[in-house]
């Protein structure tokens, strides 16, 4: 350490601690070194020419002491422990409602591992914090300079050891309440907490408290709330030195802390040298842990050539303000739930008690403009060696606050009222019990006045009996009553351009979207066409923001469909942080959406399904053909490189939707989708035999492959594909799984290589074989999946299920039913409705008809091409005579002017028609290979027509049916 080891200021304290160490330890040992070293750290920090002001994170006592000291000293330069690259953002705090967080964000990294992206650093600021007092003083006081001296956001990650497995893990787990900060790295001033687990446990046990926040409130906040400046500084130096000297080991966290201290002192010396400012006119605001530093670079006269600041990486950082909340701060920095809210309440009470006038930024959102006189400046005491205030503070008995019965009674009544509103059966007796229990708990914990934590424990004990009737428990109700989870808001002027553009484009909705909570928006595009632009913005926000920020209630957007009326629930104020971070990615929603679609499509883990999804989103939200064609062309490359069928169902669904869209909305199909169908046909034909044998490929994936091949077959064949490739692929498939076997049979039926009669026979054989009956549900699952590629097999599937229920005995059927139901539900829930509709068409609709009903598959088969009776030929004559006008119109079109045949006249013979239309007969004769020529027709026995009629009676009857209209 630089400078003399001892000074006369703390000689008495050193002697007392040395005697205490000798008495407790029996002689000089490590205890004496620790105690005397703590005094040395305090002495060294007090004697530093540049005044060091130690603070604790979001401490009301620190904020009060800071406000008092700033009015006394009126420093010209304020050095603040905050990332130096965040300085330009601090002036925007006046447009925000606290608490908010200053954020540095990097979506793309250059110089860091790629899997670290995105990088985010936040520094939350509350009204009851010493750093806000320093910022407000420096920004609103003329001639005062605010200098941020902590490491930059880039160095935060440069010094991160997360890629080193040998380093210890640091930090606290992220809770659900930290959603406003996300996974950002928190940077706060005065992170003061023991790093020695046994020390913290010892303090909590002997302090009779449950967590660290309660200990700090009881033993530091309350005693220091009304102390003078010197006492406050020395006590905070002592606490910081204690926690620093008892920090375990020399781990990565301690090395980073020391590098931060070297960084800050280096920056301060550089600024002093460049500006020529006297250190006496400066104030250095930092955490108490860093104030008791022992690095060589400590102080204005410390070593200046032992530490080199490394250059920043090429990563581009963006900066902004995001809303924060008490719960987010507590979760991110490991504080007890409700502690920041209680600190805010204590800050308000401390201002009233001490009459300290705090510093507030001019124009601060949520604050009234001060109309009173400017607070008088209290001159600072003359500089010099500070007197020893520690000895008196440590010997002084605790000052016991008297019981404030009015305050405690108000708390008790308020908590009972809140409990009633949330479903608890609380009464006046519970209020009395909470009041008395709070006093009892405070007495058991050696406190004259119950703290908010005592009151919280008493309320939980007396009101929350065994269950929570609502969504909030009593502990949460106390937190809300003590100040609640205040959530900050960033003003319009401090938002990035994208967020301001969103609010401007949604202005026609005439809603206050910047406020928290849900707003209902009704869009009637039929009467107000200008709202279509708002609808486009809302659908893009739904795609980009978290769930709940923009939720459609009525209306949908699908390919080729646009709603004329929509209803939305909007919570943009609640999700302001997500909207602000969109502004880091671009200047407009369209630009950000295009970047994200490209990122999804060209990512290292992109599949064909994800690329097609990006194409669909492009058509839905952006329109145009440029990006859609580009991503569609990329989908071809991804499909050709895939060697699995995992995404086949999603590919089939999206390709069908895109084909339907282009066929209905475009004159011709885009070239990329034609190439995709052609490539996909060949690709899936190649993978089909392997997929049938692969145990990892599910029956649904194989069914989706067949669905692609069969449904796209006509288009693929028109583009030059060969159907033989599909036939060979099916012929080479030899599955072992029963479900895939049934699926293969369905594919063979579709190709025509397996007759339906043989398929039915195979199903009957399965039911006749007792060894196969237990696995019959899996065959049925394959048949149900086959409805995707071969929907015409619905009648066969219904027949297979019906035969099973009709033929199997109850001893076999009942144990078999659960397996059947679970198989169909898990494997083919979306295809079961097709089978149900087919069953509804086949089975009788009334119970009385069931006894006489015969299943269609049990009825004798008839030849559909068999000769019909003559009476059937004239069946349409009654219809023609009933509507003569229609027949006359058709006759006029055909040029027939012979008129109507008399009812008693014989039916016209086909020979007359053949003679009247010789060209038709010659064409048919040519197709049938008859080269006898056309003989003169003199009557019914004409050689040409009679020979053909006798040789091909079916053809003659067909011609009679087609041509005999009258």
- Tens of pLDDT, residues 605-625: 899 999 999 999 999 998 878
d(CA 825, CA 802): 18
Per-residue DSSP letter, 858: G
Alpha-carbon span 136 to 687, nearest angstrom:
68
Selected residue with higher pLDDT from 912 and 28: 912
> What is the model's pLDDT at position 220?
79
Burial 530-557 (b: 16+ CB within 10 A, else e): ebeebbbbbbbbbbbbeeebbebeebeb
Please provide the average confidence, as pLDDT, over all residues in the chain.
80
- CA 930 – CA 940 distance, rounded (Å): 19
Between strands 100-106 and 282-287, the pairing is unpaired
Structure-token match 């064949």, residue found:
717
Task: Give the model's confidence band at 890: pLDDT under 50 very low, under 70 low, under 90 confident, else very high.
Answer: confident
* pLDDT over 70 at 887, yes or no: yes
Q: Which residue has the higher pLDDT, 39 or 32?
A: 39
Q: Are 154 and 313 in contact (CB under 8 A)?
A: yes
Count of beta carbons in the 10 Å neighbourhood of residue 385: 11
Q: For residue 835, how many other CB atoms are within 10 A of its CB?
A: 21
CA distances from 639 to 614, 646, 690, 712 (A): 14, 12, 17, 16
How many angstroms separate the CA atoms of 759 and 771, rounded?
A: 19
User: Which of the four pLDDT bands, split at 50, 70 and 90, describes residue 568?
Assistant: very high
Binned at pLDDT 50, 70 and 90, residue 675 comes out as very high
Which H or E run includes 100?
strand 100-106
Predicted confidence band of residue 189 (pLDDT cuts 50, 70, 90): low
Is omega for the bond preceding 118 within 30 degrees of 0, making it cis? yes
Rounded mean pLDDT of 432-441? 90
Token code pair at residue 794: 């619905």
Alpha carbons 338 and 347: distance in angstroms, whole number: 14
Residue 168 has pLDDT above 50, yes or no: no
Q: What is the mean pLDDT of residues 831-856?
A: 79
Q: How confident is the model at residue 706, as a pLDDT?
A: 92
The three-state secondary structure class of 340 is helix
Lowest mean pLDDT among 91-105, 483-497, 844-858, 923-937: 923-937
Q: What is the DSSP letter of 247?
A: S
- For 433, the enclosing helix (H) or strand (E) is helix 428-444
Give the mean model confidence (pLDDT) for residues 935-945.
Answer: 44
* pTM, entire model: 0.69
Pairing label, strands 318-323, 100-106: antiparallel
**What local confidence, expressed as pLDDT, does residue 178 receive?**
52
Q: How many CA atoms lie within 13 Å of 588's alpha carbon, on the beta-carbon side?
A: 7
Q: Under DSSP, is residue 790 helix (H, G, I), strand (E, B) or coil?
A: coil
Whether 387 and 39 have beta carbons less than 8 Å apart is answered as no
The pLDDT of residue 472 is: 79
CB 81 within 8 A of CB 285: yes
Q: Which residue has the higher pLDDT, 90 or 208?
A: 90
The per-residue pLDDT for 372 is 40
pLDDT of residue 180: 65
Distances (CA, A) of 611 to 277, 542, 634, 662, 762: 60, 19, 8, 17, 41
Q: Mean of the pLDDT values across residues 352-381?
A: 67
- The region of weakest confidence among 149-163, 466-480, 873-887 is 873-887
- Tell me the range of 91-105, 210-224, 444-458, 469-483 where mean pLDDT is highest: 91-105
Mean pLDDT on 921-925? 74
Judge contact between 505 and 533, C-beta under 8 A. yes
DSSP 152: P
Flag whether pLDDT at 111 surpasses 50. yes
Tell me how far the alpha carbon of residue 814 is from its chain's centroid: 45
Tell me which residue has tokens 């400066």.
282
**What gap in Å lies between CA 780 and CA 743, rounded to an integer?**
9
As a three-state string, the secondary structure of 791-852 is HHHHHHHHHHHHHHHHHCCHHHHHHHHHHHHHHHHHHCCCCHHHHHHHHHHHCCCCHHHCCC
Between residues 410 and 163, the one the model is more confident about? 410
Can you tell me the mean pLDDT for 73-91?
91
Give the pLDDT confidence score for residue 944 in this predicted structure: 46
Report the pLDDT value the prediction gives residue 966, as an integer from 0 to 100: 39
Instruction: Answer yes or no: are the C-beta atoms of 794 and 750 closer than 8 Å.
Output: no
Res. 526: pLDDT tops 70: yes
Please measure the distance between the N-terminal and C-terminal CA atoms of the chain and give it in whole angstroms.
121
Across the range 893-920, mean pLDDT stands at 70
Please determine, for residue 10, whether its predicted confidence score (pLDDT) is greater than 70: no
> Percent of the chain scored above 70 by pLDDT?
79
DSSP 8-state class, residue 867 = P
pLDDT band with cut points at 50, 70 and 90 for residue 633: very high
The pLDDT of residue 585 is 86
Residue 77, SS3 per DSSP? strand
C-alpha 557/C-alpha 903 separation (Å) is: 61
Range name among 16-30, 97-111, 484-498 with the lowest pLDDT average: 16-30
DSSP states of 441-481 as a string? HHHHTT-SS--HHHHHHHHHHHH--S--SSSS-HHHHHHHH
Give the total residue count for the chain.
966
With cut-offs at 50, 70 and 90, classify the pLDDT of residue 176.
Answer: very low
pLDDT at 491: 85
Phi, psi (degrees; rounded to nearest 5) at 609: -65, -40
What number is the average pLDDT over the span 722-739?
91
| DSSP β-ladder status, 119-125 and 185-186 | parallel
- Say how far apart CA 55 and CA 285 lie, in whole Å: 7
Q: Is pLDDT of 683 > 60? A: yes
Paired tokens of 90:
């601090």
Give me 814's structure tokens.
């009942």
Q: What is the pLDDT of residue 474?
A: 85
Q: Where is pLDDT greater, at 579 or 175?
A: 579
pLDDT for position 137: 93
* pLDDT over 90 at 76, yes or no: yes
Angle at 655 between CA 791 and CA 544, to 5 degrees: 130
Please state, as a whole number, how many other Cβ atoms lie within 10 Å of the Cβ of residue 478.
27
Alpha-carbon span 831 to 829, nearest angstrom: 6
Mean pLDDT across 49-61: 87
pLDDT given for residue 258 in this prediction? 85
Is a pLDDT exceeding 70 seen at residue 952?
no
Among 306, 315, 307, residue whose Cα is nearest residue 85 = 315
pLDDT-above-90 percentage for the chain:
20
How crowded is residue 529: how many other Cβ atoms within 10 Å of its Cβ? 9
What is the mean predicted confidence (pLDDT) over 132-149?
92
- C-alpha 806: how far from chain center: 50
Helix and strand numbers (H, E) in the chain are: 42, 13
Predicted confidence band of residue 201 (pLDDT cuts 50, 70, 90):
confident
- Asked whether 567 and 521 are in contact (CB, 8 A), the reply is yes
In the predicted structure, residue 552 carries a pLDDT above the cut 50: yes
pLDDT at 885: 84
pLDDT at residue 14 above 90? no
| Report for 179-193, 342-356, 603-617, 763-777: range of highest mean pLDDT | 603-617
Section 556-577 average pLDDT: 89
> Can you say how many angstroms the Cα of residue 410 is from the centroid of all Cα atoms in its chain?
42
pLDDT above 60: residue 110: yes
Q: Mean pLDDT throughout 507-534?
A: 90
How far apart are the C-alpha atoms of 323 and 475, rounded to whole Å? 25
Mean pLDDT of 948-959: 56
């Amino acid at each position: 350490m630089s400078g003399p080891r001892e000074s006369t200021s703390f000689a008495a304290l050193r002697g007392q601690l040395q005697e205490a160490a000798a008495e407790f330890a029996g002689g000089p040992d490590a205890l004496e070194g620790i105690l005397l070293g703590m005094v040395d750290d305090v002495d060294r920090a007090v004697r530093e020419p540049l005044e060091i002001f130690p603070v604790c994170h979001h401490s009301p006592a620190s904020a009060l002491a800071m406000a008092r000291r700033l009015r006394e000293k009126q420093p010209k330069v304020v050095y603040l422990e905050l990332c130096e690259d965040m300085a330009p953002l601090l002036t925007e705090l006046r447009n925000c409602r606290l608490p908010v967080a200053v954020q540095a964000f990097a979506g793309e990294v250059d110089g860091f591992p790629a899997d670290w992206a995105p990088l985010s650093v936040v520094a939350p600021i509350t009204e009851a914090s010493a750093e806000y007092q320093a910022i407000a003083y420096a920004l609103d006081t003329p001639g005062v300079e605010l200098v941020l001296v902590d490491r930059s956001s880039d160095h935060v990650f440069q010094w991160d050891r997360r890629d080193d497995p040998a380093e210890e893990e640091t930090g606290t787990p992220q809770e659900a309440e930290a959603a406003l900060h996300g996974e950002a790295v928190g940077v706060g001033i005065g992170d003061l907490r023991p790093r020695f687990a046994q020390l913290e446990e010892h303090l909590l046990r002997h302090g009779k408290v449950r967590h660290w926040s309660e200990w700090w409130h009881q033993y530091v906040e309350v005693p220091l709330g009304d102390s003078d400046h010197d006492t406050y500084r020395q006590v905070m130096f002592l606490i910081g030195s204690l926690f620093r000297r008892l920090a375990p080991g020399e781990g990565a966290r301690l090395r980073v802390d020391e590098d931060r201290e070297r960084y800050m002192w280096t920056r301060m010396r550089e600024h002093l040298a460049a500006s020529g400012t006297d250190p006496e006119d400066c104030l250095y605001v930092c955490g108490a842990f860093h104030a008791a530093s022992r690095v060589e670079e400590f102080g204005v006269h410390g070593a200046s050539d032992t530490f080199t600041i490394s250059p920043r990486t090429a990563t581009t950082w963006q900066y902004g303000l995001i809303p924060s909340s008490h719960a987010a701060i507590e979760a991110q920095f490991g504080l007890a739930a409700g502690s920041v809210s209680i600190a805010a309440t204590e800050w308000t009470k401390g201002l009233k008690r001490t009459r300290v006038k705090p510093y507030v930024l001019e124009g601060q959102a949520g604050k009234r403009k001060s109309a009173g006189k400017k607070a008088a400046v209290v001159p600072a005491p003359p500089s010099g060696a500070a007197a020893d205030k520690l000895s008196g503070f440590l010997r002084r008995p605790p000052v016991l606050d008297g019981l404030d019965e009015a305050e405690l009674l108000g708390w008790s009544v308020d908590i009972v009222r809140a409990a009633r509103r949330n479903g608890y059966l609380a009464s006046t007796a519970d209020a009395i019990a909470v009041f008395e229990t709070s006093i009892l708990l405070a007495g058991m914990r050696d406190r004259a006045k119950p703290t908010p934590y005592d009151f919280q424990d008493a309320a939980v004990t007396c009101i929350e009996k065994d269950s929570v009737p609502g969504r909030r428990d009593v502990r949460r109700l106390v937190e809300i009553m003590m100040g609640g989870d205040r959530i900050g808001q960033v003003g319009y002027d401090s938002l990035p351009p994208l967020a301001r553009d969103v609010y401007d484009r949604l202005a026609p909705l005439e809603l206050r979207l910047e406020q928290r909570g849900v707003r209902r928006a009704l869009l009637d595009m039929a009467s107000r066409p200008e709202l279509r632009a708002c609808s486009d913005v809302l659908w893009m926000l739904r795609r980009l923001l978290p769930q709940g920020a923009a939720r459609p209630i009525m209306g949908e957007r699908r390919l080729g469909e646009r709603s004329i009326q929509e209803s939305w629930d909007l919570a943009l104020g609640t999700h302001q942080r997500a909207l602000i971070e969109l502004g880091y990615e671009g200047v407009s929603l369209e630009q950000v959406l295009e970047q994200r679609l490209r990122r999804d499509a060209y990512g290292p883990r992109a599949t064909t399904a994800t690329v097609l999804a990006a194409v669909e989103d492009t058509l839905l939200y952006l329109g145009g053909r440029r990006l859609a064609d580009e991503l569609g062309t990329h989908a071809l490359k991804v499909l050709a490189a895939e060697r699995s069928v995992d995404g086949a169902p999603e590919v089939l669904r999206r390709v069908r939707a895109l084909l339907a869209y282009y066929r209905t909305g475009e004159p011709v199909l885009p070239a990329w989708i034609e190439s995709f169908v052609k490539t996909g046909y060949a690709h899936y034909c190649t993978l089909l035999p392997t997929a049938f044998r692969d145990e990892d490929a599910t029956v649904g994936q194989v069914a989706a492959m067949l669905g692609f091949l069969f449904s796209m077959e006509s288009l693929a064949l028109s583009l030059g594909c060969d159907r033989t490739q599909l036939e060979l692929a099916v012929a080479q498939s030899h599955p072992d799984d029963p479900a895939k076997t049934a699926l293969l049979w369905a594919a063979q039926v579709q190709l025509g290589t397996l007759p339906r009669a043989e398929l039915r026979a195979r199903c009957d054989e399965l039911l006749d074989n007792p060894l196969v009956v237990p696995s019959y549900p899996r065959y049925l699952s394959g048949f149900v999946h086959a409805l995707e590629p071969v929907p015409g097999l619905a009648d066969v599937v219904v027949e297979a299920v019906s035969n099973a229920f009709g033929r199997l005995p109850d001893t076999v059927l009942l144990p078999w039913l659960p397996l059947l139901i679970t198989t169909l539900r898990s494997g083919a829930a979306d295809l079961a409705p097709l089978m149900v509709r087919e069953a509804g068409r086949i089975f009788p609709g009334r119970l009385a008809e069931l006894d006489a009903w015969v299943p269609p598959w049990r009825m004798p088969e008839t030849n559909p091409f068999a000769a019909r009776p003559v009476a059937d030929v004239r069946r349409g004559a009654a219809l023609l005579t009933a509507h003569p006008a229609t027949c006359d119109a058709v006759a006029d079109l055909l040029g027939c002017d012979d008129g109507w045949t008399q009812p008693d006249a014989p039916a016209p013979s086909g020979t007359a028609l053949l003679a009247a239309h010789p060209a038709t007969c010659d064409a048919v004769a040519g197709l049938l290979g008859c080269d006898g020529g056309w003989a003169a027709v003199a009557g019914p026995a004409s050689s040409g027509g009679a020979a053909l009629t006798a040789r091909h009676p079916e053809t003659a009857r067909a011609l009679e049916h087609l041509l005999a209209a009258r």
